[in-house]
Structure 1
């Protein structure tokens, strides 16, 4: 994401201790809280979008796990 994209305000909640750690980290790095949150969300989205499950591996695992059930259903 670029810095020139429009921003939208929103509200959320988190555990007090986690927020305190996040504020301390922002202060120690000389950054704004929103900058750290945007970085974290960006990394989460990138990870989730690129971590597609291996369909063939899932099918094999389920076939191996439920082979007896599949055999009964096929009859």
Structure 2
């Protein structure tokens, strides 16, 4: 998870959804990709395509996304 490789893709969303995502990311101090990744993961778990990683792993992933820059500085 710490050095998880990300893949770029292109999609479209309604302005209302996109603006809500941007506001949430800003409010939580996160990047848009982490909000989108979490939303997609939750959706796929809900649909039974992915297995839930469990609450602890979700919190760990959110922590990595939110404090990535800090963790990189501490690692030096």
- TM tier, smaller: 0.5 to 0.7
TM-score, scaled to structure 2: 0.58
Count how many residue pairs are aligned between Structure 1 and Structure 2: 49
**Highest relative contact order (Cα 8 Å, sep 6+), 1 or 2?**
2
1:36 aligns with 2:32: no
Superposition RMSD in Å: 1.5
Q: How does 1:10-49 map to 2 (within 5 A)?
A: 10-49=9-48
TM-score (norm 1): 0.58
Cα deviation, residue 3, structure 1: 4.0
Give ranges in structure 1 of 5+ residues lacking alignment.
Answer: 51-75
Consecutive aligned runs of 4 or more in structure 1 exceeding 4 Å deviation: none
Per-residue deviation, 1:4: 2.6
Q: What does 1:44-63 correspond to in 2, within 5 Å?
A: 44-49=43-48
